[in-house]
Structure 1
Amino acid sequence: MGCDGSSGHSNYSQRYSTGQESKSNTSLFAVCLVPLRLQTTNGTHIIWNNPRPSSTRFCRPIKLVFENETTELAKKEIENIERQIADLQLTFIKVDEKKVIVTHCMKMTMIDGKLLA
């Protein structure tokens, strides 16, 4: 999981439901998830492994914010995501009449370097 911002996008004449005319869509801050591996609990069997973890192929946006990337915004979003990670529950699914329990192990590893300085 991680986050990054981008700016300099074309400004489009959009109306915002919040009524804030000062909002702009020229900057975007994204929080994303990239799955790395699906394995058995004891780690002896890898069911699926992401062949290209640095590729955007499996990158999934979790949240998009139309704001400039600032240290304050990034820290706020990182804290929010870390709180959600701590609150994750087990996922129970049934596959071919077998009960499968999925335990989630998520880490914030894709953090912009300038936020760490």
Structure 2
Amino acid sequence: MDGSSGHSRWKQAGDIEDDQVMVASVVPLRITDERGAVVWYNHTPNSNRFCRPISVKFLKENRSTVLKEMELIQTQIAALRPLKLEHATCRYSLSLTMVDGKVVNLLTET
């Protein structure tokens, strides 16, 4: 989860105020089998190559918006159920691992 602000409005038309954007993304880190053996591993977890946005909102990154977005993400994580296929079952374990310093400070109240 990260915010971005201060973008130039130079030669931009429209009514949307896009100078402040907050994005939440998911990045797969590894896939393991039922024994815990690693099937696939992301060798570049900080790269945008596997980064997939799950939420893009035009709002300012502040304490209330970060907490609200975090609560929404945690609710969605709690609602995940295993995907059962004919020969496999996929279970998910999600963690908040890629956040900037401002979000960490807002979440930890420091």
Query: Would you say how many aligned residue pairs link Structure 1 and Structure 2?
Result: 103
Report what 1:6 is aligned to.
4
Identify unmatched segments of 5+ residues in structure 1.
Answer: 16-22
Match of 1:55 among 47, 63, 76: 47
Report the equivalent of 1:79: 71
Q: Does 1:105 align with 2:82?
A: no
- Higher strand proportion, which one? 1
Q: Secondary structure at the match of 2:69?
A: helix
Runs of 4+ in 1 over 6 A off after TM superposition: none
| Residues 1:35 and 2:23 are matched in the alignment | no
Deviation at 1:10? 2.8
Instruction: Give the corresponding residue for 1:18.
Output: none
- CA shift for structure 1 position 14: 2.1
Q: Distance in 1 between the 2:67 and 2:35 partners?
A: 34
Distance, in Å, in 2 between the alignment partners of 1:54 and 1:6 is 17
Structure 2 portions without partners, runs of 5+: none
Higher helix share: 2
The answer on 1:67 being equivalent to 2:62 is: no
Q: Which protein has greater RCO, CA pairs closer than 8 Å, 6+ apart?
A: 1
> Normalising by structure 1, what TM-score?
0.80
In our comparison, the structure showing a higher alpha carbon Rg is 1
1:90 paired to 2:82: yes
Shift of 1:30: 0.3
The AA in structure 2 aligned to 1:39 is T
Per-residue deviation, residues 55-82 of structure 1 (Å, max 9, x unmatched): 1111111000011111110110011000
